[in-house]
Chain A
Amino acid sequence: MREITPRSPIAILLIVIVIGYAAILFIAPLVAVVQGAFAGGLEPILNTFRDPSVVHAFQVTLVLSGAAVAINAILGLTTAWVLTRHRFRGRKLFDTLVDIPFVFSPVIAGYAMIVLFGRDGWLAPPLVPIVFALPGILLAKVFVSLPFVVREVQPVLQTIAPEQEEAAATIGAGSFTTFRRVILPEIRTALLYGVVLTFARAIGEFGAVAVVSGNIEGYTETATSYVYRALNDRSTVGAYSVSVTLCLLSIGILVLMSSLRRRLNEQER
């Protein structure tokens, strides 16, 4: 469809509706939270970030989300590959499994971890503490953000003809070289897009983390758990300024997403 300059009043009305909806739905609340954070000036915000438990919460969030991204990128890529290139019994079932974290209540996923690794759990005692410690948070983040890399990479892999790989293999390229030279260039935009989505989801996770972390301040507390705690502490500036920081992080992620989306669209043409 070609882009045109709107002339009719209906077209202009449609544009107004579309922009107005987005504005009311989430732009206005975003403005409200920024305003709420700056209500008392800059000093309370700076004080929030001088609180070592806030710094620590961000550290935990970023490092564990980074680790979740690493796990889901590498294993997700492998999974996407196996699900598109291999034919085996039960493939459909495993393909369905990928979607489950997307629709599953994260709270119950967190609780399943306690059943597995908690005191008297099925797999207790684990070698290192898992639930109510950092590994549990990592597992929770991996779970909730699992579908993204697989689902972004899969359709692109389907469009690559296996002949290219075979051709590469016949001229003596090893499979890792084939992967790096032939496949990776094709899927890298989709992979990065998946990675960005994974990272966003992992940073924002709250439900599963709330159950498995024990919310120990300065230890297992994440940035989102801090927001929840600060609200209950009547420390509204703290809650809002950490929220705004998370939003800024989101906007950074967003800019990445939109530039990647552009690449993805170009690739499809």
Chain B
Amino acid sequence: MIRYSHILSLLTFLLVVSAFAPIQAQDAPAPVNLTLAGYAVPREAYGDIIPLFQQYWQEQTGQQVIVLESYQASGAQSRAVAGGFEADIVALSIEPDVTRLVDAGLISEDWKSETPYDGFVTRSLVVLAVRPGNPLGITGWGGLANENIQVITPDPATSGGAQWNILAAYGAARHGAAEGFSADDTGAEAFLRAVAANIEVLDRDGRESFLTFERGIGDVAITYENEVLGGQLVGGQYDLIIPQSTILIENPVAVVDTYVDLHGTREVAEAFVQFLFAADAQRAFANHGFRPVNPTVGAEYGLVDEGTPGAVTPNTTITFAPVDDLFTIEEFGGWREARAAFFGDEGLFTRIIAEVQGQ
């Protein structure tokens, strides 16, 4: 039997604690705090890179850096930052999520010129993941349109990655990579409609979507090369299929000018972003399945020739295979055009989903 007085003392304790205990960020007496707002997928890679940067910054300046990390779907993250989440650095899935912050006046117009490689820090491909041994014999995009195939992809309304997926499917079909569909807009639309009818779960971000596939739902996941390679590294059982034609994913990173000036963290934030392009950070990304933008590092993973050794050892199990027909977002005339045409309330994909799932 619990006595009333015990409950009362417990409550009193809670009240006292809550009234007097100031909650501090962990290791609060840190000289400088840096907040990183990332999209869901590169979390593990940043887990490797941040300690390297902390060491680097300590050596350079003697100052300790605490990096506070937050990861959620790219679009949601971008909107949170626009809504007042004072992140110093954003690492997002698609360029429009950075553009939103530029439009909000938080990031300067010339953010792309502040970093090498046009503001893009990692690359990847839209690929397919199938069950071990590929029991359904899916070899490319065409296989997704067959009846009774369950497809997993995230929701383009919330996930930047999902937009890559839909654009990859449409673009590849237009290039004739979807067997059974004509290599033009009509064929591509018909193909997209057939795929949309097969979608089984539409999760909110790329990671969640791939985990749904890992949990055994669906026959094939439209996902990213880095998700599949990263998952296989931690024991995931599935096969990677690189379609003959697909889109090149480019993920932007940027310093949020308004907030770094507010926090007085510009110097360290810019150093962090630059650090992401250095060989070791690029290797860390590559070790988690991202295609490095730094060509020297790319070389170490079979993309070009030779590289120089550093603190991070390249993972020899990862090599990036070449793609026959690789296109970029310029295929659709850039993001602004692509988003207007495919997503949003009146976009092609929104209409198709309403048509095929809405009966």
Between A and B, how many residue pairs show CB distances below 8 Å?
102
- Known pairs A232-B211, A259-B2; A69 contacts B69 (CB<8 A): no
Mark the stretch among B15-23, B218-226, B266-274, B325-333 that contacts chain A: B15-23
Residue of A with least CB distance to B207: A232
Chain B residues with CB below 8 A from A53, complex form: 26
Cβ-neighbour of A67 out of B18, B84, B207 (below 8 A): B18
Asked if residues A70 and B69 are in contact (CB atoms below 8 Å), the reply is no
Chain B residues with CB below 8 A from A80, complex form: none
Which interface class (under 10, 10 to 19, 20 to 34, 35 or more) fits B? 35 or more
Asked if residues B18 and A215 are in contact (CB atoms below 8 Å), the reply is no
Residue of A with least CB distance to B69: A217
Asked whether any CB of chain B lies closer than 8 Å to the CB of A251, the reply is no
Knowing that A199-B14, A219-B26, A255-B2 touch, tell me 5 more A-B residue pairs with CB under 8 angstroms: A52-B27, A69-B11, A114-B84, A217-B68, A218-B26
Rounded to whole angstroms, the CA-CA distance of A231 and B211 in the bound complex is 9
Rounded to whole angstroms, the CA-CA distance of A218 and B207 in the bound complex is 21
Rounded to whole angstroms, the CA-CA distance of A159 and B82 in the bound complex is 51
Asked whether any CB of chain A lies closer than 8 Å to the CB of B311, the reply is no
Cβ-neighbour of B25 out of A70, A129, A219 (below 8 A): A219
The secondary-structure label for the interface of chain A is: helix
Asked if residues A132 and B43 are in contact (CB atoms below 8 Å), the reply is no
Asked whether any CB of chain A lies closer than 8 Å to the CB of B35, the reply is yes
Asked if residues B211 and A66 are in contact (CB atoms below 8 Å), the reply is no
Cβ-neighbour of B70 out of A67, A121, A214 (below 8 A): A214
Asked whether any CB of chain B lies closer than 8 Å to the CB of A234, the reply is yes
Cβ-neighbour of A63 out of B21, B69, B72 (below 8 A): B21
- Known pairs A229-B71, A232-B40; A259 contacts B14 (CB<8 A): no
Rounded to whole angstroms, the CA-CA distance of A119 and B85 in the bound complex is 8
A40 to chain B, nearest CB (A): 13
Cβ-neighbour of B23 out of A129, A134, A231 (below 8 A): A134
Asked whether any CB of chain A lies closer than 8 Å to the CB of B7, the reply is yes
Asked if residues A214 and B15 are in contact (CB atoms below 8 Å), the reply is no
Rounded to whole angstroms, the CA-CA distance of A260 and B26 in the bound complex is 37
Q: Contact string, A46-80, partner B, CB cutoff 8 A, digits 1/0?
A: 00000011001001101110110110000000000
- Known pairs A66-B18, A132-B84, A232-B208; A52 contacts B26 (CB<8 A): yes
Rounded to whole angstroms, the CA-CA distance of A118 and B85 in the bound complex is 8
The residues in B between 220 and 245 inclusive whose CB is less than 8 angstroms from any CB of A are 231, 234
Asked if residues A66 and B86 are in contact (CB atoms below 8 Å), the reply is no
B155 to chain A, nearest CB (A): 15
Q: Name B residues whose Cβ lies closer than 8 Å to a Cβ of A.
A: 1-2, 4, 7-8, 11, 14-15, 17-19, 21, 23, 25-27, 35, 37, 40, 43-44, 68-72, 80, 82-87, 104, 205, 207-208, 211, 214, 231, 234
Asked whether any CB of chain B lies closer than 8 Å to the CB of A157, the reply is no
Chain B residues with CB below 8 A from A234, complex form: 211, 214, 231, 234
Residue of B with least CB distance to A136: B84
Asked if residues A214 and B85 are in contact (CB atoms below 8 Å), the reply is yes
Chain A residues with CB below 8 A from B87, complex form: 214
Chain A residues with CB below 8 A from B15, complex form: 66-67, 69-70
Cβ-neighbour of A192 out of B4, B17, B104, B214 (below 8 A): B4
Asked if residues B14 and A69 are in contact (CB atoms below 8 Å), the reply is yes
Chain A residues with CB below 8 A from B86, complex form: 129, 132
The residues in A between 129 and 180 inclusive whose CB is less than 8 angstroms from any CB of B are 129, 131-132, 134
Chain B residues with CB below 8 A from A70, complex form: 14-15, 18-19
Asked if residues B17 and A63 are in contact (CB atoms below 8 Å), the reply is yes
Rounded to whole angstroms, the CA-CA distance of A63 and B14 in the bound complex is 7
Chain A residues with CB below 8 A from B1, complex form: 259
Rounded to whole angstroms, the CA-CA distance of A82 and B196 in the bound complex is 56
Chain B residues with CB below 8 A from A37, complex form: none
